[in-house]
Amino acid sequence: MSRVKGGTTTHARHKKVIKAAKGYYGRRKNTYKVARQAVDKANQYATRDRKNRKRNFRALWIQRINAGVRAHDEAMTYSRFINGLALAGIEVDRKVLADLAVNEPAAFAAIVDQAKSALAA
């Protein structure tokens, strides 16, 4: 059996990395050795930031809910509102609450009133 050289496989692997580095600046876009380092680092950032994106969105939703609650009732804070929701048995996640606070103020006001009455009881 004759020997198989690895040029085809190596070329395909190099081509895959160069394609992933498309749009990078300087030698990072067309030199395999440098492009591989840049692509590996980019993948590390992408993996890390998938977790960070979830964290950032949750923080954004909390800020929007807090602003909506304080616009409706200045004495109530975000934490008291969430406690009131738990006491009232309302299970709506923060993403939906933030969307209601921005787009449906009347519906959000009704939820705030329910939470306030559950805190008072």
**1 in a structural domain:** no
Average pLDDT over residues 69-96: 93
Which pLDDT band, with edges at 50, 70 and 90, does 87 fall under? very high
**2 in a structural domain:** no
Percent of the chain whose pLDDT exceeds 90:
88
**27 in a structural domain:** yes
Residue-wise pLDDT tens digits, 10-54: 999 999 999 999 999 999 999 999 999 999 999 999 999 999 999
The whole model's pTM is what? Answer: 0.77
**75 in a structural domain:** yes
Instruction: Please report which residue ranges of the chain form alpha helices under DSSP H.
Output: 7-20, 32-72, 78-88, 94-103, 105-120
**56 in a structural domain:** yes
**Residue 112 belongs to domain spanning:** 7-120
* CATH code (residue 78): 1.10.1900.20
Q: Report helix angle 32-72 to 7-20, nearest 10.
A: 30
